[in-house]
Structure 1
Amino acid sequence: MPGPSGVAVRTRLRLSAAEAGVLREVGGLLGSLASGDLAVRCRDGLAHDGERWAVRKRALTGRSSSRWAGAITRATHDQWALARRGLAAYIRGLEAGIATVRHRLSLPIREKGTKRAPGGYRSRHEWHAKSRRLTVLEARRDRAVADWKAGRVRVVRGGRRLANTRHHLTDAQLTEGQWRGRWETARMFLSADGESGKRYGNETLRITPDGQVSVKLPAALAHLANASHGRYTLTHTVAFSHRGQEWADRIAGNRAVAYTLHHDPDRNRWYVTASWQRKSLPVLPLHAALAAGCIGVDMNNDHLAAWQLDPHGNPVGEPRRFFYDLSGTAPHRDAQIRHTLTRLLHWARQSGVRAIAVEDLDFDRDKTREKHGRRKRFRRLISRFPTARLRARLVSMAAEHDLTIVAVDPAYTSRWGAQHWQKPLTTPRRKTTRHDAASIAIGRRALGHPIRRRTAPPRNDQSDRRGHRTVQAGPSARGSEETRPRVLGPRTRCDGPGRGANAGDQCAQNRSGHTAEHESWHQDSPPLSL
């Protein structure tokens, strides 16, 4: 998997009451301009082009500046594109639900399902209700497809969930003033794009090497400036503890650095985020990354099961489990994921490997409630499973530790891992779980080895008097009693299996009482040369 293309670091910004008031006024003005620009962009739809972009930017330049206008129009276009992708995902989800309902409606009542597809509905009443729901889903799909073709998107600056919370303040345990503060904060715009070649990499929102922060005020608020050239300089300085040296090297070379000011209304704190792009580094070849083996990781609801494998696919040492808690708020879940991945990466570096193998999971088609029906706990499980966030975090954090992430096909890793590895690795002092065995299957698939173990030799002699071997076909397996194919090759002193005259005659080879055993023995006459 390719490494991250950008970097973002954040630190706290300490402000006085007067400075916070100025930033709120600037963010509110720019936020109103961004809201109007987003409305224009949504009305243009698919008819938008470069000329329309230039018209929007010229309309914003007079009330702010050319750089603020460029940042607003670029953010507007990104937000419209994000809503467009969300609409496409919504259509895919509806189509998956429609296909599942149609399949279940076509089956008889109480028809049992398979592991790949659900069965029929339990009762006639449920079948009737789902037939009506199919009509609702198709109507929603048709409206969404019509919006997609027309280029219509529905976007709420500040968030639709926060907008709906205004009507349920009692349930959200918020007052109208608290909600208003969150709403105004979410709709502010205080983001400035970086520019290479400009002083300290940003001409609009500038941070000097000693941490001095200054903001270029819009034209409508130029009277609030306390420095030359219409700039407002803050009193307190900032410092980036994480990646601080990398940030200092960039601004010292006047390379582009983008900044975003953010206000947290719950804590009443201000933060500044610095971000920049990285040059795409050459991806390490797969054989070089796996030269020292890898660590297979099986992602689960509450922990990561990991096991180190050598280059030959053999498990080394003991399995490791890294637990996390996905309950609570989104920041809490994100912190749990980061803490878990930090422990995993530190163990990987101590182990000496350079690659971590993970499953390329995608639950988009499985999250529809139409597929799993009444299994609410399972649907809730896969809905909150952080596949995309965990994978993105792992890729970005592994790049800093010089580790490579290898994504493998997740098909049958848990089943085959438990079938071939769980029992052999279980000892009186070690309980090997199904997830531990799955991590071995994932690592072996990344290394290019088959998941099943090597055939074990007989324990006594060449005959299997204690049963079949590890991967030998059982007596009930189809085709296990057929004749072995004749192997072509040079003849030796002894005919090997499948090489003699009776290679295809099972009766002559394996069965006692064969007619050949009761025939009279005749010796050929000696040659005349003797």
Structure 2
Amino acid sequence: MGGVREVAASFVVAGPSGVAVRGRLKHLTAQDERVLRALGAYQGGLASRDLKARCADGLEHSAGSWASRKRGLTGVSSSRIAGAITKASHDQWALARRCLAAHIRSLEAGIRTLRHRLSLPVGAMGTKRAAGGYRSRGEWFHKSRRLKALEDRLATAVADWRSGRVRVVRGGKRLLNTRHHLTEAGLTEGEWRQRWEAERWFLAADGESGKRYGNETIRVTPDGQVSIKLPAPLAHLANTSHGRYTLTCTVAFAHRGAEWADRIEANRAVAYRIHYDTGRGRWYLTASWQKPVVQTMPLDAARAGGVIGVDTNAGHFAAYRLDAHGNPVGEPHRFSYDLSGTAAHRDAQVRHALTCLLHWAKQTGVTAIAIEDLDFSAEKTREKHGRRKRFRQVISGMPTGKLKARLVSMATEHGLAIIAVDPAYTSVWGGQHWQKPLTTPHRKMSRHDAAGIAIGRRALGHPIRRRTTPPSHDRSDRVRHRTVQAAPGAPGREGPRPRIPGPRTRSVPPDAARTRATRTPKTVRDVRSEQGWVQDPLLLTE
């Protein structure tokens, strides 16, 4: 048990802190689209210049420089638009900074693995916890060159980190690189240009409590009428008073529409963003607002009604229901999804699988769902898994971040708590202790189903190890139940039961097995008499 790492404590995941709903802007006139495109392009140019200024400040940024940038933008737009643009620039710079830190950690992990494997002799065998040497001198040579390349990239990334330099692209780096591969992407130059310009538009405004309908720049009335405050250079496009342009269409929110209406009737802050989908040729309006911090359900209350343990896999969720005592109830369930195709298709697949899981959870009456706190940031390196390209693709394809956010948001609406557990050894110990005992002619237990039981028991605070059948009454230890389930405070209780050689009852001395093996009996009656009556009085004394 010395090599088993310490398992972190389970905890209840905090609920969502914000809400976002989207509605389509239908039946826009040609004039409406011209105004939206002109407004988006104008404010997008302001956002690009402000982001450039923010990146130039780097670590020297201060409240004074922020105020200076905001004053400059206010003169060519408005104070609220200037505030929204500067806030977006700060958020994008901070995101790029976090991505750079993650990139540095990934490079460091790859370099450590390369150095370890290059230090071993060619052909050296590896272990379960550490990879061995490379297979040939040619592979060793190529990996030594890759080590130098990674060290050079790490030096560049560390220098950028220390100087506060980040590399960001308004519109996205992936879309920018698509310009050089239009044939593979199935786009023409005009289609790519339209998509590129739409991604760089800025049509957003933060809300403000106390203002009419919660937003002064992009105002949406309870009946769905949308009006936009135009900046001074575009004031000639206004069709209503006070430099505002009112769209001819209305918008409706099918999801959370009543909650949104309650907020704007009370003049509470609501942020809006207008987005153009170039693939469908449609305009959308997204409304978002913050929710008050809700007290997280205590862990004991979440465990009271039992849990559903969910094992996350590349193509499905393996779920098993457990009662409050950690006993499996019913049959295993599997909710499949397909992660191939576009991002929208993958997102829809995960959302559908989670919906089916939550509906089943509500039917069973449990109070919480237990899921592993997965993070594959350090497991996707090419150097860690070597030639296992398919395995690396499977890990990279699992949407752990989106899955966590979506599951927490959807479970909160159903009144279910989410318990995050440490993923260490759940598949190994689940398969060892639960897969075979629960397999019957009418129930096929997989390793993933057993892992769901292990996850649920860990969330409930029970050890994963299973309680065995009590001994028969014709044995001398009939008074006590023999069990392999250790007490909660016993060190190493999650490990397998150690095998103790020798007899299992106290009626036979410890060396009886060796004595019987060396003795040559003449008759069956002699053997029985010797085995049945030879007892050690010391073993019977307690």
The normalised TM-score by structure 2 is 0.87
Counterpart contact for 1:306–1:436, Cα < 8 Å: yes
Local SS of the residue matching 2:378: coil
Aligned equivalent of 1:220: 233
Q: Matches of residues 140-155 of structure 1 in structure 2 within 5 Å? A: 140-155=153-168
**1:51 to 2:64 alignment:** yes
Q: Report the Cα distance in structure 1 between the residues aligned to 2:232 and 2:154, rounded to whole angstroms.
A: 46
Local SS of the residue matching 1:235: strand
Aligned equivalent of 1:5: 17
With CA pairs under 8 Å and 6+ residues apart, which has the higher RCO, 1 or 2?
2
Local SS of the residue matching 1:118: coil
AA partner of residue 18 (structure 1) = Q
5+ residue gaps in structure 1?
485-496, 519-530
Aligned equivalent of 2:403: 390
**Higher-Rg member (1/2):** 1
Aligned equivalent of 1:412: 425
Q: Report the Cα distance in structure 1 between the residues aligned to 2:50 and 2:337, rounded to whole angstroms.
A: 42
AA partner of residue 2 (structure 1) = A
Local SS of the residue matching 1:10: strand
- Classify 1:472/1:63 alpha carbon distance in 2 versus 1 (closer, same or farther; 3 Å): closer
Aligned equivalent of 1:174: 187
Aligned equivalent of 2:147: 134
Aligned equivalent of 2:47: 34
Counterpart contact for 2:316–2:335, Cα < 8 Å: yes
Counterpart contact for 2:58–2:165, Cα < 8 Å: yes
1:198 to 211, 215, 226: 211
Q: Deviations over 1:109-137 (max 9, x none)?
A: 11122222211110011111111111110
Counterpart contact for 1:169–1:176, Cα < 8 Å: yes
1:412 deviates by 0.8
- Classify 1:477/1:260 alpha carbon distance in 2 versus 1 (closer, same or farther; 3 Å): closer
Q: Report the Cα distance in structure 2 between the residues aligned to 1:483 and 1:425, rounded to whole angstroms.
A: 25
Tell me the C-alpha RMSD between the 2 structures.
2.6
Counterpart contact for 2:467–2:485, Cα < 8 Å: no
Local SS of the residue matching 1:76: helix
Q: Report the Cα distance in structure 1 between the residues aligned to 2:433 and 2:504, rounded to whole angstroms.
A: 28
Local SS of the residue matching 2:469: coil
Aligned equivalent of 2:525: none
Aligned equivalent of 1:423: 436
AA partner of residue 95 (structure 1) = E
State the number of aligned residues. Answer: 495
1:382 deviates by 0.4
- Classify 1:84/1:9 alpha carbon distance in 2 versus 1 (closer, same or farther; 3 Å): same
Identity of aligned residues (%): 69
Q: Report the Cα distance in structure 2 between the residues aligned to 1:163 and 1:280, rounded to whole angstroms.
A: 39
Q: Deviations over 1:265-323 (max 9, x none)?
A: 11110000000000010011010111010000000111000011000000111111000
**1:321 to 2:334 alignment:** yes
Q: Report the Cα distance in structure 1 between the residues aligned to 2:512 and 2:344, rounded to whole angstroms.
A: 74
AA partner of residue 451 (structure 1) = I
1:472 deviates by 9.9
Aligned equivalent of 1:338: 351
Aligned equivalent of 1:248: 261
Aligned equivalent of 1:302: 315
Q: Report the Cα distance in structure 2 between the residues aligned to 1:226 and 1:332, rounded to whole angstroms.
A: 40
Aligned equivalent of 1:230: 243
1:214 deviates by 0.3
Q: Report the Cα distance in structure 2 between the residues aligned to 1:366 and 1:399, rounded to whole angstroms.
A: 30
- Classify 1:509/1:386 alpha carbon distance in 2 versus 1 (closer, same or farther; 3 Å): closer
Q: Report the Cα distance in structure 2 between the residues aligned to 1:30 and 1:404, rounded to whole angstroms.
A: 42
- Classify 1:424/1:16 alpha carbon distance in 2 versus 1 (closer, same or farther; 3 Å): same
Counterpart contact for 1:483–1:506, Cα < 8 Å: no
- Classify 1:33/1:433 alpha carbon distance in 2 versus 1 (closer, same or farther; 3 Å): same
Local SS of the residue matching 1:322: strand
Counterpart contact for 1:357–1:407, Cα < 8 Å: yes
AA partner of residue 21 (structure 2) = V
Q: Matches of residues 79-98 of structure 1 in structure 2 within 5 Å? A: 79-98=92-111
Aligned equivalent of 2:385: 372
